[in-house]
Amino acid sequence: MSVNNLINNFVVRFANVNGTGSASANYLFAKAVFRMGIFATPKNIFPSNIQGLPTWYDVRVSEKGYLGRREGVDMMVSVNPQSMANDIKSVKTGGYFLYDSTKDLPEAYIREDINYIGVPLMEMCIREYSDPRQRQLFKNIIYIGALAALMNIEFDVLEQLFKEQFAGKEKLIAPNVKAVQLGMDYIKANYAYPLPIRLERRNLIGDKILIDGNSACGLGAVYGGATVAAWYPITPSTSVVEAYAEYAKKYRVDPKTGKNNFAIVQAEDELAAIGMVIGANWNGARSFTATSGPGVSLMNEFLGLAYFAEIPTLLIDVQRSGPSTGMPTRTQQSDITLAAYASHGDTKHVLVFPSTPKECFDLTADSLDLAEHLQTPIIMLTDLDLGMNDHISDPFVWDDNRKYNRGKVLHAEDLEKMSRFGRYLDVDKDGVTYRTYPGTHPTKGSFFTRGTSRDEYAVYTEDSGAYVQNMERLQLKWNTAKKLVPAPILYQEKNKSKIGFVFFGTTLFAAEESMDMLAENNIAIDAIRLRAFPFNHQVEEFISSHETIVVIEQNRDAQMRSLLINELNCNPSKIKSILNYDGMPITADMIVHQFNNL
Amino acid sequence: MTYIKPKFRHPALPKNDLGYTKTVYEGSLSTLCAGCGHDSISAAIVQSCYELALEPHRIAKLSGIGCSSKTPAYFLSQSHGFNSVHGRMPSVATGASLANKDLIYFGVSGDGDTASIGMGQFVHVVRRNLNMVYIVMNNGCYGLTKGQDSATADEGSKSKAGSVNLFHAIDLPSLALELGATFVAQSFSGDKAQLIPLIKAAINHPGFALINVISPCVTFNNNPGSTKAYDYVREHIEATATVDFIPLQEEISADYAAGSSKNIEMHDGSSLVLNKLATNWNPQDRMSAMNAMQQAKLDGEILTGLIYIEPETTDLHSLIQTSDTPLNTLDESLLCPGAAALEALNEEFR
């Protein structure tokens, strides 16, 4: 590979010990790349542990703007002796291995085909800092300083980032800047710098932002008008409600009374969390919860109630690796079947699949509208990779003229004009019926909400005809949903290929890159990015108009493929799978490799 | 049980302060067994709401699953009702209350729904002090599945089929006291004179109010040897005091013997008058309430009446400082921070 290809095009991996403050130092590196106008994709690969186990942090730098993960480490920053043997093996031939040279490396760790850069991090820390915690924290900043010299990170950019990070705690700026300087000075005194793999300032980012999907969901819930959040902590979804709380405290506290225009309850479990959400939505407040797969398993019964009793509900499922507790800090797209048909009986749920932080924001706000419009649960499926890792994203946009769509709700004046209100009467023939909030009118509009069968006036019945009519109306509503859910994104303007890729969620990044790689080998691919279930007519047309369909997804059982086959009139034999379910985000190389072996 | 509920009403039926007759507060025809204690409790709820002249549509009634949880259909037909899933009524009620703090929330549950499948949610709704009336229609058995013992069946109690319960009973009022409940009462479905003032007081209590009502199951648990049978309960009942609830507007006119009565002023200015007080019991002292419950248990008695009250209490809304305006009435103008704030946030992420 020529030197030019290594400018703004490499992967740095940091190997740290969990709980040593390394993630924020490593984020500093990613943010500095971003500030230098270059695409950076950080991935925090962390254990299910608070302190002591190995943790890694990858930053892929890409001039071309590829935001997916890439295998192959060009620069390993190794500060964890526990994982060092394997970390050395993962460096690409010709790559670099930066390590703490306070102690000599064992003979066995020496590879002839990579370059070693020793920086006596611990020794420098012991010399420069007296407080043990500072020694640990500044060790991280010293290696960022070393990288700054080796890879051309602009010093001013780092200094500015410290100023922003420690606004209000200005005392901390100087020691951090000093740590960077220490690292830089050591490199300048001992090594040739900069390296061939390095950064060069560009102007590729425009007005884009760097943010994680969970924060975007929390912010979207504030903008979308959610007033009640009920939740139970679970990795990787916890930061959704934490973000909601942060923004609600910022924007939703009444300046006159000091009281909150929101309510957040940390429930006793996920069952109670979804129960509260259903109770609040029943009573006319927009409400949501966030959880991960194990939580969705617990919420099944309530989801069936919300489907059958027709109560708006927004559930954000930040997926992680299952089954059971699985790998709780690793990513996967493996709750699709669970979410689509959650609960017993003939139930099915509207799913939405955001791919980027911007879509997390938009689809959270939109789903609050959609849930009330359709009076049914909306399950938003993100994943750990999107939710917890920072992504470069288009900025958030809001139209101040936008009004919330509260759906078909009758108020006192509407009821006054009516002779008899029928909660489940399909007045508009779209399967979506009118509801009332409790307390609306003294004598009209009350009804009994129940999970048992009922007639159009919400009166309990075991009459077969009334039951079937209701189930068929719910099916009609399902068809109405197809017209309202987020439409898929099609990639087929230029090509008319016989092969169609189908992907969704965070597979977007690797899939787009893989299509470029295949195009370089003159293999044209059409593609569709799914954004919702039920599938609309565009999905059906895309599947039927291609000879071979390849569904790319991050689970073992090809769950989206099954869902397509189950729901659409298509020939299963033409639908192939590309799968990755090792807990790490799928890569373009994986897709191309599996495609070539199909 | 008559199949069709008569629609004819006497034209001279008395009316309450709102001009409503009691029929306005009734529900549809009960489908429970004739003589079921639960129907008496429903009737007591109707009577209480009628006498207090509550706007029926300002009440929301919620329940879980089971015989008891069917009853919200049999009272207050002008109120919205929610028959949710088994053991989960507390969470639905919590969400509903968060959405609109201005309604009165009636939760109706049974001993299976509360003390078994719903125990997790019950203890947490108590500790959150949700402003609601929580009525347990407690018959010690699972009626809808034909009479299995529940977790409140007393140790040694005999079922209709003759089997003896081996396990300790869960005592819900004692548990609620331990959890910090601010209004705890116990009653008997056959004692309307006691139950109605307790329901009224519970409605006026500005926090979580538990009324555990022993409500015999005539079909599956009314046999000799059952400690939840009508005869057994009548023979073993012991009241803490007689109870009168005096709404804010009315003057206390009854004359009580000195030393044996207590007047508790409630949060909204209404009063609870207790007469013929049990010895060594102070309804405003948690320790003495807990002792009274334990002593009754040792004596083989069922202690009924008001057990404990903390008239001034901080409910969930006050604890988490929600707006005085119900959250379900807020719109974009208050909820959405707008485009300019969003652009400022974008800048923070650059």
Tell whether the model's pLDDT for residue A221 goes beyond 80: yes
% of chain A with per-residue pLDDT over 70: 99
Q: List phi, psi (to 5°) of B74.
A: -105, 10
Q: In angstroms, what separates the C-alpha of B230 from chain A's closest C-alpha?
A: 30
B66 close contact with A: CB closer than 8 A: no
Return the pLDDT at B279. 84
Tell me the per-residue pLDDT of B320-336, one tens digit each, with 9 for 90 and over. Answer: 999 999 999 999 999 99
> Of the candidates A259, A437, A445, which has its C-beta nearest B321's C-beta?
A259
The span from the CA of A8 to the CA of A196, in Å, is: 10
Q: In angstroms, what separates the C-alpha of B95 from chain A's closest C-alpha?
A: 4
DSSP designation for A493: S
Place of tokens 């078994």: B116
Task: Output the DSSP codes for A375-408.
Answer: TSEEEEEEEHHHHHSEEEEPPP---TT------S
Query: Where residue B11 falls among pLDDT bands split at 50, 70, 90?
Result: confident
Say whether A489-596 and A211-393 share the same fold: yes
A275 close contact with B: CB closer than 8 A: yes
The span from the CA of A43 to the CA of A19, in Å, is: 16
Q: Do B57 and A442 touch (CB under 8 A)?
A: yes
Q: Do B96 and A209 touch (CB under 8 A)?
A: no
Q: In angstroms, what separates the C-alpha of B254 from chain A's closest C-alpha?
A: 35
Tell me the per-residue pLDDT of B170-204, one tens digit each, with 9 for 90 and over. Answer: 999 999 999 999 999 999 999 999 999 999 999 99
- Taking only residues 219 to 248 of chain A, the set having a beta carbon closer than 8 angstroms to any beta carbon of chain B reads 219, 222-223, 225, 227-228, 230, 247
Closest of B299, B251, B297, B305 to residue B277, by C-alpha: B305
10 Å CB burial of residue A11 (0-12, 13-18, 19+) is buried
Q: Do B91 and A208 touch (CB under 8 A)?
A: no
B61, B113, B350: best mutation site toward chain A, by most A Cβ within 10 Å? B350
Q: List phi, psi (to 5°) of B218.
A: -65, -25
Beta strands B208-214; B183-188: pairing state: parallel
Question: What mean pLDDT do residues A201-226 have?
Answer: 98
N residues, chain A: 598
> Of the candidates B77, B92, B330, which has its C-beta nearest A227's C-beta?
B330
**Do A254 and A311 form a contact (C-beta atoms < 8 A)?**
no
The span from the CA of B198 to the CA of B262, in Å, is: 15
Residue A587: strand pairing partners: A69
- Taking only residues 188 to 247 of chain B, the set having a beta carbon closer than 8 angstroms to any beta carbon of chain A reads none
Chain B partners within 8 Å of A222 (Cβ): 335-337
Amino acid making up residue A114 = I
Tell me the per-residue pLDDT of A296-354, one tens digit each, with 9 for 90 and over. Answer: 999 999 999 999 999 999 999 999 999 999 999 999 999 999 999 999 999 999 999 99
Tell whether the model's pLDDT for residue A52 goes beyond 90: no
Q: Do A403 and B58 touch (CB under 8 A)?
A: no
Query: Where residue B82 falls among pLDDT bands split at 50, 70, 90?
Result: very high
The span from the CA of A147 to the CA of B291, in Å, is: 70
10 Å CB burial of residue A235 (0-12, 13-18, 19+) is middle
Q: Do B120 and A222 touch (CB under 8 A)?
A: no
The span from the CA of A586 to the CA of A389, in Å, is: 14
The span from the CA of A297 to the CA of A271, in Å, is: 9
Question: What mean pLDDT do residues A45-62 have?
Answer: 92
> Of the candidates B124, B323, B332, which has its C-beta nearest A272's C-beta?
B124
Q: List phi, psi (to 5°) of B137.
A: -90, 100
Return the pLDDT at B1. 43
Tell whether the model's pLDDT for residue B251 goes beyond 70: no
> Of the candidates A228, A262, A398, which has its C-beta nearest B95's C-beta?
A228
> Of the candidates B55, B88, B95, which has its C-beta nearest A280's C-beta?
B95
Q: Do B78 and A446 touch (CB under 8 A)?
A: yes
The span from the CA of B94 to the CA of B128, in Å, is: 9
DSSP designation for A7: B
Tell whether the model's pLDDT for residue A526 goes beyond 90: yes
Return the pLDDT at B119. 97
The span from the CA of A376 to the CA of A313, in Å, is: 6
Domain-wise residue ranges, chain A: 3-190, 211-393, 412-484, 489-596
Closest of B118, B222, B79 to residue A438, by C-alpha: B79
Helix axes A155-165 and A132-151, enclosed angle (nearest 10): 150
A160 close contact with B: CB closer than 8 A: no
**Do B180 and B126 form a contact (C-beta atoms < 8 A)?**
yes
Tell me the per-residue pLDDT of A397-421, one tens digit each, with 9 for 90 and over. Answer: 999 999 999 999 999 999 999 999 9
Question: What mean pLDDT do residues A74-95 have?
Answer: 95
N residues, chain B: 350
The span from the CA of B90 to the CA of B84, in Å, is: 10
Beta strands A228-231; A489-491: pairing state: unpaired
Distance of CA A520 to the CA centre of its chain: 29
Return the pLDDT at A1. 41
Element (H, E) at A450: strand A448-450
N-terminal to C-terminal alpha carbon distance within chain A: 29
Q: In angstroms, what separates the C-alpha of A371 from chain B's closest C-alpha?
A: 15
Q: In angstroms, what separates the C-alpha of A1 from chain B's closest C-alpha?
A: 32
- Taking only residues 110 to 129 of chain B, the set having a beta carbon closer than 8 angstroms to any beta carbon of chain A reads 120-121, 123-124, 128
Task: Output the DSSP codes for A196-260.
Answer: SSB-------TT-EEEEHHHHHHHHHHHTT--EEEE---TTTHHHHHHHHHHHHHHSB-TTT--B
- Taking only residues 297 to 326 of chain B, the set having a beta carbon closer than 8 angstroms to any beta carbon of chain A reads 316-317, 320-324
Q: What is the 3-state secondary structure (H, E, C) of A27-81?
A: HHHHHHHHHCCCEEEEEEECCCCCCCCEEEEEEEEECCCCCCECCCEEEEEECCH
Question: What mean pLDDT do residues A545-567 have?
Answer: 97
The span from the CA of B184 to the CA of B283, in Å, is: 9
Tell whether the model's pLDDT for residue A2 goes beyond 60: no
**Do A234 and A295 form a contact (C-beta atoms < 8 A)?**
yes
Question: What mean pLDDT do residues A36-61 have?
Answer: 94
Distance of CA B71 to the CA centre of its chain: 13
Tell whether the model's pLDDT for residue B258 goes beyond 60: no
Q: In angstroms, what separates the C-alpha of B306 from chain A's closest C-alpha?
A: 29
Tell whether the model's pLDDT for residue B250 goes beyond 80: no
Closest of A401, A469, A382 to residue A429, by C-alpha: A469
Tell whether the model's pLDDT for residue A4 goes beyond 80: no
The pTM of the full predicted model, rounded to 2 decimals, is 0.96
Chain B partners within 8 Å of A230 (Cβ): 91, 94-95
Place of tokens 């230098």: A36
> Of the candidates A278, A397, A443, which has its C-beta nearest B95's C-beta?
A278
> Of the candidates B90, B121, B349, which has its C-beta nearest A211's C-beta?
B349
Distance of CA A169 to the CA centre of its chain: 31
The CATH class for the domain spanning B22-329 reads alpha beta
Q: List phi, psi (to 5°) of A530.
A: -75, 140
A 10 A CB-CB count for A256 gives 6
A489-596: which CATH number, 1.10.1200.10, 3.40.50.300, 3.40.50.920, 1.10.3720.10? 3.40.50.920
Chain B partners within 8 Å of A306 (Cβ): none
User: What number is the ipTM of this complex?
Assistant: 0.96
Chain A partners within 8 Å of B99 (Cβ): 227-228, 279-285, 287
**Do B144 and B111 form a contact (C-beta atoms < 8 A)?**
no
Q: Do B332 and A265 touch (CB under 8 A)?
A: no
Question: What mean pLDDT do residues A547-568 have?
Answer: 98
B332 close contact with A: CB closer than 8 A: yes
Superfamily assignment of A211-393 in CATH?
A: Thiamin diphosphate (ThDP)-binding fold, Pyr/PP domains (3.40.50.970)
Tell whether the model's pLDDT for residue B277 goes beyond 70: yes
- Taking only residues 362 to 401 of chain A, the set having a beta carbon closer than 8 angstroms to any beta carbon of chain B reads 395-400
10 Å CB burial of residue A106 (0-12, 13-18, 19+) is exposed
- Taking only residues 6 to 65 of chain B, the set having a beta carbon closer than 8 angstroms to any beta carbon of chain A reads 28, 55-58, 60, 62
Tell whether the model's pLDDT for residue A366 goes beyond 50: yes
Q: Do B73 and A222 touch (CB under 8 A)?
A: no
Q: List phi, psi (to 5°) of B135.
A: -105, 125
A 10 A CB-CB count for B255 gives 7
Chain A partners within 8 Å of B79 (Cβ): 438, 446
% of chain B with per-residue pLDDT over 70: 95
The span from the CA of B341 to the CA of B326, in Å, is: 25
**Do B115 and B172 form a contact (C-beta atoms < 8 A)?**
yes
What is the interface size between A and B, counted as CB pairs within 8 Å? 234
Beta strands A228-231; A287-291: pairing state: parallel
List all residues 6 or more positions away from A457 whose beta carbon is below 8 Å from its beta carbon.
Answer: A420, A421, A422, A423, A424, A425, A447
Tell me the per-residue pLDDT of A476-505, one tens digit each, with 9 for 90 and over. Answer: 999 999 999 999 999 986 667 999 999 999
Superfamily assignment of A3-190 in CATH?
A: Pyruvate-ferredoxin oxidoreductase, PFOR, domain III (3.40.920.10)
> Which tokens hold the place of A579?
């799968």
Tell whether the model's pLDDT for residue B252 goes beyond 70: no
Q: Which of A437-451, A506-520, B196-210, B238-252 has the lowest mean pLDDT?
A: B238-252
